[in-house]
Structure 1
Amino acid sequence: MSNSVTNRLFKMVISYWPLLIVSTISAFIYVAFNGLSVWLTASLFNNILTDFEDLIINHDNLRNTKVSINDQLKYWTNELILRDSALESLKVLCYTIIGSFLFKNIFLYIKNIALTYIQFNLITKLRVRLYAHLQKMSLSYFDRSQSGALSSIVLNDVSNMRVAFGASFHKLFVEPINIILFVALLLIINLKLALISIIIVPLSGAIVILIGRSIRRKSKRTAEKIARIMSIMAENLNSIRVVKSFSMESFEIDRFTSEQKRYYQLIFRRAKLRLISSPIIEMIGAFIGVCLLWIGGHDVLVAQNMNSEDFIRFILILFSVLGPIRNLSNVSVELQKGFASADRVFEVLDTPES
């Protein structure tokens, strides 16, 4: 069913291909400027900590010995920011960092606006389509289905899809590209340390998949439970005179309280799973980061086969990549909740009309 839901959602989204192209291009430009801002921030730290004369000497050496991609990137960076004095170079570097942050946020806004337009239109059309489909169903279908459950699907499940896919759309277009760019920069700076740091990707992926599967099952049961609660409320309010005539208020209160407690237990278990994913992934990242600090620090201080500028830049980029990985883990959790609601929505849409 999940593949079917994914394919159907993809077919609905692809009809907005012009906006998808705009959003994709904006995402690539945003990621480029985001990577540039991190790279330049490392250059800022290095320029502050290094004597200006040493910077000029290193730049002259790079001009004659650009043997690696890392050396070429550092040379182009120095060509961009180095001026006649340390203060002038610092000024140019600060302006360049501000410009990179400005442009990356402009394109982030363009990407978000395009995806938000797609998201809102998609959910609005889906809710109207679902409501129109219900109007064409036979009376026997409504005899078999509870009105509260149908109301919950039209209102709650479609809203869950909007919330889940809304946050996911924005992150799915950016974070994978961010991760690819940052990992590529790590490989360029130091292959050995980068290969060690990549361990976090499969570990995080395995945790996300295991937690996501459990959350999807709990999300489906949660949606069914809230539908049951809405049915109880609808039945009670529609027959309130009967309830009062037979003095059944206590029975109705107990029935509603029992369903609400079961609903609370479900959403609390789902919340515990959702909240544990980020701390676990962050702890894995921190552990690997500390290991890399030790290994890289040894290479800089003892073996001296890595300079301090590359080490500073590597650590900054490494901790920058943890954010996108953590965001993708949250995206997976939100997507599973959305898919659980989509299952219920498409189940109604697939029911033949009268």
Structure 2
Amino acid sequence: MGNIHEEEKLAKSYDSDLMKRLLSYAKPYWKYLLISVLLLMFVTLTELARPYIIKIAIDNNISSINQPMQVYDINESPIDGIEFQDKEYVRVSRLEDKQLPVNESNIYTLLKNNDNYYLVKGNITEDANDLEIIGDEEGNGGLRILSGEIPYNATLLSDSQYNEFREDDIKDLNILALIYFIIIVLGFIFNYVQVYLLNYTSKKIIYNIRQEIFSHIQDMSLSFFDKNPVGRLVTRVANDTEKLSEMYTEVLVNFFKDIFMLIGIVIIMMQMNIKLALMSFTVIPFILIASAIFRRKIRNVYRLVRIRLAKINSTLNENITGMKTIHIFSKEDKKFKEFDNINRDYFDASKQEVKIFALFRPSIEIIRSLGIALIVYYGGGNTISGVIEFGVLFAFINYLQKFFQPIMELTQKFNILQSAMASSERIFQILDKKEDIKNTHSPKALEKFNGKIEFKNVWFAYEKDNWVLKNVSFIINPGEAIAFVGATGAGKSSIISLINRFYDIQKGEILIDDINIKHIDKYSLRRRIGIVLQDVFLFTGDIKENIRLNKEDITMDQIKKVSKYVNAHSFISNLPQDYDEPVMERGSTLSSGQKQLLAFARALAYDPDILVLDEATSNIDTETEALIQDALLKLIKGRTSIAVAHRLSTIQHSNKIIVLHKGEVKEIGNHNELLDQGGMYYDLYRLQYKDDFSIDDNNLL
């Protein structure tokens, strides 16, 4: 894997290998996902059923006034009909549905003309308001209706008589309304359960992925963090995992809803009217062309947005972390301008994304409107001529609107999928990064060290062939107090990191108690080595938890005991809440000396066999240094201690001082021995304490 700076190397629009890995995280929850898919099927059915129920209500009940009826004598009708004046009337459509014969000579039609209702003998399909109503030529009070030149016998109906013919329609409408309401309620219940179940499953999957990433990052060696900025890593754990969440919810399962919806609409439309359905589908090629153009355009813009968003995260992390330095050197304006440029770049990329979406969606709306216009033009004419029922036309318009929605959502899902591919590639780049520092097959988990440390011809480089340590060899015996001195960049801190196996050496051996540290379990190794660094890191929480570091077997009494031991108790007890005093991020409310004392207490609480002090007293004031010097003698008693210091006054008590220069051991001895040699240590000491030397004899006054 390259380092995480390489934001430009994004994934393909779809990568089957990446998708397989993403699906592997969903595998433990396949039952939940299957239930979600099944619920989506029911949700889709409830949505598809609604327009069809309205279509039935319109064609079979609301507009059924003009439907022809077959008349029978009482008790002779093959199915139940409407009884009126000793006759039974059955709609022809019901007979045809049951494939029963129809006698064209006994057909009657209900017509409404000028707010009056008529029962006409015959099948009249013309608009009743265009018909001419005349009296009976024989003068018996009857009525006739002229349709063209053809007269039809008619009977004027009272409102109550008309209501008798519509009574079944009203009952059917009530039943359909109840069914419609039940479908809405069921759809809501199915949808609620499905959304809850799907989002729960998605969040659980993302929870596991995020846990795995964080755990994996914790296992990485320090060289990994040397190459990868914190802001980018935070983006991986936070932002990129959220993109995967969208993929699991919006794409993985809801994709089936779009498919179910499209298939269902096609089947229903083809079943209702094939010609009208085929005409509706003529706009699909235009939709596909628009979607293809959109995908190609949005892909490039999306990549640009992701790159610039990552830069914002990195810049924010860097500037907020270094805010103290920014204030000290009055660089607020400069840093603001830098961030403003990066933020403006992101804003410009986001505008491009918005422009493309703003163009795409109206384009789809125009195509959809053209499709509906075609339906209205063709279907409306056929509805007027009686070829197509009005309910069918209504249903077609409704289904066509629903038909475009999944297509638009599928395009959006493509964008989400592409986003997930890019995010998953970055996440898997981290997960595929193997640990640089690995335990051997059967590492030794030592519970205690005697404290012997040996470097044998050690060569080490952070980058290839740029050697930081060159053929370094020395032995530290159990219980000895050892100090490393040398100019900046001599390799002192690198030796400390190597003893803890934060990095692995390229050549030579490092032994603890005559065991190669590569054969010791790295976790037990680090548990037995206590480190106090120059830059003390405190976690958000309180004082006692920063000493205990969640090791629950360290009691409150032990915390107080070690705090008193390193002279930290006095300042802690003066805090408003004592050991429960809140600690802000990185201990910002505490002084450098106080943080250093807490670091001493923390190290001692773990009772290490080897104690490492890396420039641990460099940030301490004179008064606090006196307290720490007193504590140091207690700390190092009975354990091997290693100190790295520029201030030579803090290491004069050491049993052995190792002088480093440009990665090589130049001198080894105690304080007096090295002064007598008159070498590098002598020069360093003289530089720091030149006022205490005689110009003539180079001896301490």
Which has the larger displacement, 90-99 or 40-49? Answer: 40-49
8 A contact 1:219–1:340 mirrored in 2: no
Partner residue, 2:419: 337
Larger Rg: 2
8 A contact 1:33–1:101 mirrored in 2: yes
Which has the larger displacement, 100-109 or 176-185? Answer: 100-109
Q: Pick the aligned partner of 1:14 from 24, 27, 40.
A: 27
Report the residue type matching 1:104 in the other structure: G
Report the residue type matching 2:320 in the other structure: L
Counterpart Cα distance in 2 of 1:153 and 1:219: 17
What does 1:84-233 correspond to in 2, within 5 Å? 85-163=168-246, 165-169=248-252, 171-233=254-316
8 A contact 2:40–2:254 mirrored in 1: no
Change (3 A) 1:101 1:130: same
Counterpart Cα distance in 2 of 1:179 and 1:212: 20
What does 1:281-320 correspond to in 2, within 5 Å? 281-302=364-385, 304-320=386-402
Gaps of 5+ in 2: 1-10, 70-90, 102-164, 437-701
Which deviations, in whole Å up to 9, do the C-alpha atoms of 1:293-350 show, x marking residues without a partner?
2122233335x54333433332332223223333333322333333332232222222
Report the residue type matching 1:50 in the other structure: S
Per the TM alignment, residue 288 of structure 1 is displaced from its structure 2 partner at its CA by: 1.5
Which deviations, in whole Å up to 9, do the C-alpha atoms of 1:66-121 show, x marking residues without a partner?
9xxxxxxxxxxxxxxx9962221211111111112222222222222221122101
Is residue 353 from structure 1 mapped to residue 435 from structure 2 by the alignment?
A: yes
Counterpart Cα distance in 2 of 1:124 and 1:253: 35
Gaps of 5+ in 1: 67-81
8 A contact 1:115–1:169 mirrored in 2: no
Q: Pick the aligned partner of 2:38 from 18, 21, 25.
A: 25
Counterpart Cα distance in 2 of 1:124 and 1:275: 34
Report the residue type matching 1:338 in the other structure: A
Partner residue, 2:97: 62
Q: Pick the aligned partner of 1:49 from 49, 63, 74.
A: 63
Change (3 A) 1:345 1:271: farther
8 A contact 1:278–1:330 mirrored in 2: no
8 A contact 2:54–2:391 mirrored in 1: no
SS in structure 2 at match of 1:174: helix
Which deviations, in whole Å up to 9, do the C-alpha atoms of 1:154-209 show, x marking residues without a partner?
11222233245433345313121011101111111121221222233343233334
Partner residue, 1:38: 51
Counterpart Cα distance in 2 of 1:288 and 1:198: 8
From the two aligned structures, give the one with the greater strand fraction: 2
Is residue 249 from structure 1 mapped to residue 284 from structure 2 by the alignment?
A: no
Identity between Structure 1 and Structure 2 (%): 22
Report the residue type matching 1:347 in the other structure: Q
Per the TM alignment, residue 225 of structure 1 is displaced from its structure 2 partner at its CA by: 1.9
The alignment's TM-score, normalised by the length of structure 2, stands at 0.45
Change (3 A) 1:16 1:164: closer
8 A contact 2:37–2:253 mirrored in 1: no
Counterpart Cα distance in 1 of 2:317 and 2:391: 67
Counterpart Cα distance in 2 of 1:339 and 1:96: 43
Change (3 A) 1:340 1:206: farther
SS in structure 1 at match of 2:266: helix
Per the TM alignment, residue 131 of structure 1 is displaced from its structure 2 partner at its CA by: 1.0
Per the TM alignment, residue 243 of structure 1 is displaced from its structure 2 partner at its CA by: 2.7
Counterpart Cα distance in 2 of 1:13 and 1:274: 31
Change (3 A) 1:277 1:11: farther
The alignment's TM-score, normalised by the length of structure 1, stands at 0.86
Counterpart Cα distance in 2 of 1:43 and 1:180: 21
8 A contact 1:165–1:338 mirrored in 2: no
Change (3 A) 1:345 1:57: same
Counterpart Cα distance in 2 of 1:340 and 1:199: 35
Counterpart Cα distance in 1 of 2:382 and 2:321: 75
Which deviations, in whole Å up to 9, do the C-alpha atoms of 1:31-64 show, x marking residues without a partner?
2222222200112233223318648332223222
Greater relative contact order, per chain length (Cα 8 Å cut-off, separation 6+): 1
Change (3 A) 1:145 1:308: same
Pairs aligned (count): 338
Change (3 A) 1:19 1:201: farther
Per the TM alignment, residue 11 of structure 1 is displaced from its structure 2 partner at its CA by: 2.4
Change (3 A) 1:13 1:65: farther
Counterpart Cα distance in 1 of 2:402 and 2:313: 45
Question: What RMSD in Å do the two structures reach over aligned CA positions?
Answer: 2.6
